[in-house]
Structure 1
Amino acid sequence: MMNTCPVREGTARWPEAEALTFAGRSWTYRALDGEISRWVAALQARGIGAGDRVALLSTNHASCVFLFFALGRLGALLAPLNARLTALELAPLREDVAPRVTLALGSLMDRLPGSERLETWADGVKEPSLACEPLEDSAPRVVLFTSGTTGRPKGAVITEGNFRASARCSAANLGAFPAPRWLGTLPLFHVGGLAMLTRCAYEGGCLILHDRFDVEAVNRAIDVEGVTHASFVATTLERVLNARRDRPMPESFKLALIGGGPVPTPLLERARAARLLALQTYGLTESCSQVTTERPSEADGRTAGPPLPGLEVRITGPEGQVLGPGREGDIEVRGPTVMAGYLNRPEATRETLRDGWLRTRDMGMLDERGRLTVLSRRTDLILRGGENLYPMEIETVIASHPAVQEVAVVGVADARWGEVPVAFVVLRSGHAFPEDLDTWCRRSLAGFKLPARFLAMEALPRNAMGKVERTVLRQRLVAS
């Protein structure tokens, strides 16, 4: 199927509708189309064409939006790099991308030697370009590097069809909503941020883009700027509710997607009391964001929901056999949102994509209604004396303690058992470290699942996508 730029389509259909806001500025679809056309001309002047790659190092900025859509009009690819990485970590990623041009936000240019300043890069253009090549569904649009919490990151190639299918499948689950206004606090170097950007463009909506998560700015956008949809993790959801002092959400706000793992039941109850519909999700870069999401009419916070309409999820055993409801195994995904493959990694691509199924290497199970419970990311699994321990299961129990703000469980080597779980605990303000955590866990967990130690922390280390950096926690244990 051939597709044209959604902003160009939007300009023809609703030219004066608001498409983007950032740092006090606003662009209608007509104005955004004009900015993108300037960037197309700047890219053409540098010889950028179909198949070429442009590397980008930036926090959220309006210029990232202009660049993303401009590259699409030329059939070129964007390779957004994680803005939290060091120069040493970025160097091999740029080498993998082999970009024709490298752009960076002014404050980050020193991390990418030879990069050009993003904010002013298209300023010299005198005549915009109306070029807008149609794209096949199979046309690559971005190279997104996995978070790299274990090993060297791999660049997942996400296509035009992946983005369109992700938006279509998500809308089928959430229900039709004309001109949504999505809060853009997720980074645009992350699949979640780009999925929101493209979803808005396909649906004639507006992205309320923030350069970072600031809880006061978030609540102002919800209360004053008419935000209808947002994406949070449990910690940011709690910060929003705390800052509001549980003040109810305005009627204009419809729902929030929650990623990054299960939400403690008390927090979900707080959200619902504040008229905030929080839908738990499961997704990954290689599937262009969401795979499963709770249905708005059935959300109970117990699972990550069923597959989005148009996607399939199955659970497989060690020999590849498909397992029935209630059986624990590997999560596999099939559908039009699954990536084309890994850049320059044919062996890794063949290992991950088999017979049309994406092997996520995450562990989970489906219930009788087809809803997914995620038990563990594959690399987080703890093997204790031959028993599989799932950190998420242990974390859910500990997080339900009234003194606990958040928790992460990792495995540490043990001479007797091979591995044992250790819990890193962040306490709520004003609470002393609870002496009854072990007893609390014994009420819900078998003895072999109990953490060997509970360690207090001021905050959990997280990467730019908000995921807990468990490798950092393991290193702290080894060093202690």
Structure 2
Amino acid sequence: MRQWLSQRAETSPTACALIDAETGDEYTFSALDQAVEQLAGRLSKFGVSQSDRVGIILSPQIESALTFYAAARIGATAVPLGHRLTATEIETRLTRVTVQTIVCEHCTERTVFEATAAVDDDISVISVDNSTIDSVDSVETVTSAEVNTVAWNPQRTQLVLFTSGTTGSPKAVKLTAGNILWSAVSSAFRLGIDPNERWLVTLPLHHMGGIAPILRGPLYGMTVVLRGEFDTEQAVTDLHEHSITAVSLVPTMLRRMLNANNTSSFPERLQTVLLGGAPASTTLINRCQGESIPVYPTYGLTETASQVATARPQTAFDNPQMVGTPLLWTDVTIVDESGNPQSAGNPGEIVVEGPTVTPGYASPESMVKGEYGFHTGDIGVLDTDGRLTVINRLDDRIVTGGENVDPGEVATVLESHPDVASAAVVGISDTEWGERVVAAVTPMTGESINKDALRSHARNHLTGFKIPKMIRVTDTLSRTVSGTIDRDAIRELFITDTDGTSEDR
């Protein structure tokens, strides 16, 4: 069975496949197919082969898309990692999932070099640019070898994506080619699709929300417009200048775009605003209704290759808290603590079954699966029409601007500072980000804690959005009878606390 891109290059060779919004460069499906073939040949020359895992640490750019496709063509598994991760964060991921090769660029090669040097595995590092490090190879230094293209196989693991777990260690989710196909088809059934679609990608390319349109492009025959980093004013301009018909956003992005100075209105040709990553407020949905913005609130997980349930605009406008009915072939069951199904109107854990559900984790964790499918750890309720409302999470993850932050990971970093005895990290409500990361810390006996120094320490180990925006020094941390952190009491510390400094993301 043939790869999607090569098949599309035959059927629609001159149709526009990809636009680099930064440079204005355009690729037809034929040109994209040729560029992928060349990169796949060069990676093969460096020893990348079928069943290998290829780490991708690139900023959101055309080269990222080419590497996804090239890995698939070789039969390797793409493992995208955030280009803003610190060396410590990369090292953590590399100790949980073995990769044979990492593809990087000039601005990430130093961090990658530091991370791989700390890992015992022999990892080949290849840059898409001319490298300044002797041990880092450059794809430009070799000619392309002939590629033995691997046939499309629904059982083959095409992606491994990292997500935050409840223990503080990132989980590595395996997604098969079949998972991705069923997700693409079921999404098309809900959203509708047109070969004339022009989909703007502004989400990070290490999240499924950013990757999905790129991988679906050849299947749908649509044009993907890739914008490297999200910028509010630029995103609004892109909607108009590139005749965008669809865009994926998190609520914070949409809110900022609606408030942008250059926004008179979103273009009438815009047909789909797929809104996920975090719950959307009733206020935001109501504003979309008032401004005739076709918003599709969605609930999804990395473990389900993106969407589980998605509400069409009228459903969202009539019921702003709902995320609609499950997608085609996806079954959602609400269960109680014993795993028994709940009747309509009664909340419980959301359990998902269907062909988009991951076969498991590449990292050591085991999936929680029961009689009715994959246990998501999220709490929700179904109404009598089968429409889902997501209430909250079973665990304590913080969702800030669509990014998951595990409190345990942040607390561990804070507690590694020599002046900190213990730390508790929680999320508090924030009108801009949905939730804001804050931390309460206790000092070592006889020591005092300098908040700026502690933030600097955290910045060396954590991505920017994980760093606490406010820090409160306290003598003790409130705990429950069982000895666990009393998170509600910790949040109370910040209700009247103004002794914190806001941090940029």
TM-score (norm 2): 0.75
Match of 2:259, SS? helix
Match of 2:205, SS? coil
Asked if 2 retains the 8 angstrom alpha-carbon contact of 1:144 and 1:156, the reply is yes
How much has 1:358 moved relative to structure 2? 1.3
Q: For residue 337 of structure 1, what is the aligned residue in structure 2?
A: 356
Question: Identity percentage over the alignment?
Answer: 31
CA distance in 1, matches of 2:58, 2:503: 24
CA distance in 1, matches of 2:370, 2:161: 20
After alignment, is 409-418 or 40-49 more displaced? 409-418
CA distance in 1, matches of 2:314, 2:194: 15
Q: For residue 26 of structure 1, what is the aligned residue in structure 2?
A: 26
How much has 1:406 moved relative to structure 2? 5.1
CA distance in 2, matches of 1:70, 1:186: 21
Q: For residue 116 of structure 1, what is the aligned residue in structure 2?
A: 126
Asked if 1 retains the 8 angstrom alpha-carbon contact of 2:166 and 2:396, the reply is no
How much has 1:83 moved relative to structure 2? 2.1
CA distance in 1, matches of 2:34, 2:81: 26
Indicate yes or no: 2:164 matched with 1:141.
no
CA distance in 1, matches of 2:176, 2:372: 16
Indicate yes or no: 2:122 matched with 1:106.
no
CA distance in 2, matches of 1:156, 1:381: 17
Q: How many residues align?
A: 415
- 5 Å-filtered alignment, 1:49-64, equals 49-64=49-64
Indicate yes or no: 2:495 matched with 1:453.
yes
Q: 1:188 to 1:406 in 2, by over 3 A?
A: closer
Q: For residue 333 of structure 2, what is the aligned residue in structure 1?
A: 314
Q: Which amino acid aligns with 1:363?
A: I
Asked if 1 retains the 8 angstrom alpha-carbon contact of 2:429 and 2:436, the reply is no
CA distance in 1, matches of 2:432, 2:5: 42
How much has 1:359 moved relative to structure 2? 1.2
Cα distance per residue 1:175-207 (max 9 Å; x no partner):
232232111111111111111211222101111
Match of 2:307, SS? strand
2:343 to 314, 324, 330: 324
How much has 1:159 moved relative to structure 2? 0.7
Asked if 2 retains the 8 angstrom alpha-carbon contact of 1:55 and 1:103, the reply is yes
CA distance in 1, matches of 2:479, 2:396: 19
- 5 Å-filtered alignment, 1:81-480, equals 81-113=81-113, 115-119=125-129, 121-127=138-144, 129=146, 131-147=148-164, 150-243=167-260, 246-300=263-317, 301-345=320-364, 348-349=365-366, 351-355=367-371, 357-380=373-396, 404-405=431-432, 407-408=434-435, 414=478, 419=486, 421=488, 453=495
TM-score (norm 1): 0.79
How much has 1:245 moved relative to structure 2? 5.7
Q: Which amino acid aligns with 1:369?
A: D
Cα distance per residue 1:388-427 (max 9 Å; x no partner):
xxxxxxxxx977xxxx545538898646787353798xxx
Match of 1:359, SS? strand
Asked if 1 retains the 8 angstrom alpha-carbon contact of 2:3 and 2:73, the reply is yes
Q: For residue 385 of structure 1, what is the aligned residue in structure 2?
A: none
Q: 1:152 to 1:201 in 2, by over 3 A?
A: same
Q: 1:273 to 1:128 in 2, by over 3 A?
A: farther
Q: For residue 78 of structure 1, what is the aligned residue in structure 2?
A: 78
Asked if 1 retains the 8 angstrom alpha-carbon contact of 2:74 and 2:147, the reply is no
Q: Which amino acid aligns with 1:364?
A: G
CA distance in 1, matches of 2:378, 2:240: 37
Match of 2:395, SS? helix
Asked if 1 retains the 8 angstrom alpha-carbon contact of 2:298 and 2:311, the reply is yes
Q: Which amino acid aligns with 2:248?
A: S
CA distance in 1, matches of 2:493, 2:389: 22
Match of 2:242, SS? coil
How much has 1:313 moved relative to structure 2? 0.8
Q: Which amino acid aligns with 1:311?
A: T
Asked if 2 retains the 8 angstrom alpha-carbon contact of 1:159 and 1:339, the reply is yes
Match of 1:89, SS? helix
CA distance in 2, matches of 1:128, 1:116: 16
Cα distance per residue 1:295-337 (max 9 Å; x no partner):
2442222212111111111111111111111111111111111
Q: Which amino acid aligns with 2:488?
A: P
Asked if 2 retains the 8 angstrom alpha-carbon contact of 1:54 and 1:102, the reply is yes
1:17 to 15, 18, 41: 15
CA distance in 2, matches of 1:209, 1:414: 46
CA distance in 1, matches of 2:277, 2:294: 17
Q: For residue 461 of structure 2, what is the aligned residue in structure 1?
A: none
How much has 1:97 moved relative to structure 2? 3.1
How much has 1:356 moved relative to structure 2? 6.9
Asked if 1 retains the 8 angstrom alpha-carbon contact of 2:60 and 2:228, the reply is yes
Asked if 2 retains the 8 angstrom alpha-carbon contact of 1:181 and 1:206, the reply is yes
Asked if 2 retains the 8 angstrom alpha-carbon contact of 1:364 and 1:373, the reply is yes
CA distance in 2, matches of 1:295, 1:398: 27
How well do the aligned residues superpose, as a CA RMSD in angstroms? 2.9
How much has 1:155 moved relative to structure 2? 0.9
Structure 1: gaps spanning 5 or more residues: 383-396, 425-449, 463-480
Indicate yes or no: 2:24 matched with 1:8.
no
Q: Which amino acid aligns with 2:358?
A: M
CA distance in 2, matches of 1:423, 1:257: 34
Q: 1:250 to 1:458 in 2, by over 3 A?
A: farther
Q: 1:336 to 1:27 in 2, by over 3 A?
A: same
Q: Which amino acid aligns with 1:7?
A: L
